[in-house]
Amino acid sequence: MEIFGLTAREISEKVRKKEISPKEVVSAFLERVEEIEPKVRAFISITPELAMETAKQIEEHLMKGEDIGLLAGVPIAIKDNICTKGIRTTCASRILENFVPPYDATVVKLLKEAGAIIVGKTNMDEFAMGSSTENSAFFPTHNPYDLDRVPGGSSGGSAAAVSAREAPLALGSDTGGSIRQPASFCGIVGFKPTYGRVSRYGLVAFASSLDQIGPLTANVGDCILLFSIIAQYDPLDSTSAPLPTPPLEEMLVPEAKGLKIGLVQELFGEGIEEEVKEKVLEAVKYLEEKGAIVEWVSLPHLSYALPCYYIIAPSEASSNLARYDGVKYGLRVEADGIIPMYMETRDKGFGPEVKRRIMLGTYALSAGYYDAYYLKALKVRTLIKRDFDKAFEKFDILISPTSPIPPFKIGEKIDDPLKMYMADICTIPINLAALPAISLPAGLDSQGLPVGLQMIGKPFEEVVLLKTAFAYEEANPLLPLKPPI
């Protein structure tokens, strides 16, 4: 098998046994990127020199018999809203087009300590606002299953890179489904841990009460491995949960026997394509074969999740993005006076979707509307959280489709924001409730496009969730999926 076809765990094992060298691994993946990238366009920045230098250093440590880390020699792609020291971090926005952070995000620091090799920064919707990666200020990314279709968003570049085997591992961020939805569209695994489980220090903020970093991988085993590296308490992040990292060996045990699984009625109803429902329900049978007990469950307030999210997230975004004013960092457009400079900088620096959400959020927070919109949305968020709490009194895991539709064509929804927002109806409630959730391939539809199954777990019970996901993957003979590219 070609090196780029190996899993991250296989690469790590072969590097440790000196069957392949870190430099051989990096060379193989860089060649793959060179071949595939003109078609897929997953990366904003590619770092071949840095990757080869890191590989060389790991090789030297290996030859000296020193500890080289769990991910030694394994290439990884990083979403371009996660700070990387000395590597451009643009958030796919003109306003940060030339921004080079002076520090690493905590997750990047942990990856480097584990021996992972960064091969590039991936494309995304500008400031993570979008569901298709078409809102990138630079170019759209293409789905490896059909180059005329979107890879999902906002972590579309990371998902496409892993799906097309340009990297075995990638990091994304998830505010309303931005890891899980592109994972579904690209036929891979995408995991959003519980809010607070993975440090957000060094993640460029979109909506601070919703954002979470997580893995995108080709299989569940690699997802578990990557999660075990980045799930560390971080005093630099005030929202980081002071909990021990779940043991890797404990998570790598497939187990579903006796689990009570609830199928969320509201997420199989109106707006979900029939073929998506069928594929997900077919996939659930693999869990029943493993001994899981499956029943239907109702979460009545989920119908309010979309409007609730599109008040809370833009409100937090309008506050977080106020810092991009042309003064401290990023783009500065000179004008006659300070106020015209602010206005010109933000007008030229932000794209249409970012401007739309800043205006929505500013309106919702303005005097006279705060109570009617933002405060009410926070109350609805509490009701949604209570629905999940009640469901988890009976069930261990909840299941739904990840996306209501398969990947759509590039340009199909870009002019209709409401249709685009609807692509996240299954994933948004999980962020509002601060729960862990994972998207797994459920198979291909009649057009050969991937469909995703979403598993939702109890807060901080990632071990149960990942063991169940691992059991499902082992039972499903169709997995892992491979795109025609």
The CA radius of gyration of the chain, in Å to the nearest whole number, is 21
The single residue of 12, 21, 79, 121 carrying the catalytic annotation is 79
- Give the bridge partners for 456, in sequence order: 398, 437
Let me know if 154 is a catalytic residue.
yes
Q: For helices 352-365 and 305-320, what crossing angle results, to 10°?
A: 100
State the sign of the Cα–Cα–Cα–Cα dihedral 314, 315, 320, 323. positive
SS3 content of the chain, % helix, strand, coil (to 5): 45, 15, 45
State the sign of the Cα–Cα–Cα–Cα dihedral 227, 229, 233, 236. negative
Distances in whole angstroms, Cα of residue 242 to Cα of each of 105, 128, 197, 234, 239: 18, 27, 8, 8, 9
Residues 120 and 178: beta-carbon distance below 8 Å: no
Let me know if 240 is a catalytic residue.
no
Q: How far apart are CA 441 and CA 11, in angstroms?
A: 23
- For residue 296, give the 3-state DSSP assignment: strand
**H runs (alpha helix) in 290-337:** 305-320
- For residue 135, give the 3-state DSSP assignment: coil
The single residue of 154, 318, 403, 439 carrying the catalytic annotation is 154
Distances in whole angstroms, Cα of residue 260 to Cα of each of 391, 445, 458: 11, 27, 12
CB atoms within 10 A of CB 24: 16
Residues 150 and 132: beta-carbon distance below 8 Å: yes
**267, HSE (Cβ side, Cα atoms, 13 Å):** 31
Strand ranges (DSSP E) for 244-314? Answer: 260-264, 293-297
Distances in whole angstroms, Cα of residue 391 to Cα of each of 114, 379, 455: 38, 19, 14
Let me know if 158 is a catalytic residue.
no
Q: For helices 22-40 and 8-16, what crossing angle results, to 10°?
A: 160
State the sign of the Cα–Cα–Cα–Cα dihedral 22, 28, 29, 30. positive
Query: Residue 136's closest CA among 405, 325, 414?
Result: 414
The single residue of 136, 178, 184, 439 carrying the catalytic annotation is 178
DSSP state of 263: E
DSSP state of 277: H
**Catalytically annotated residues:** 79, 154, 178
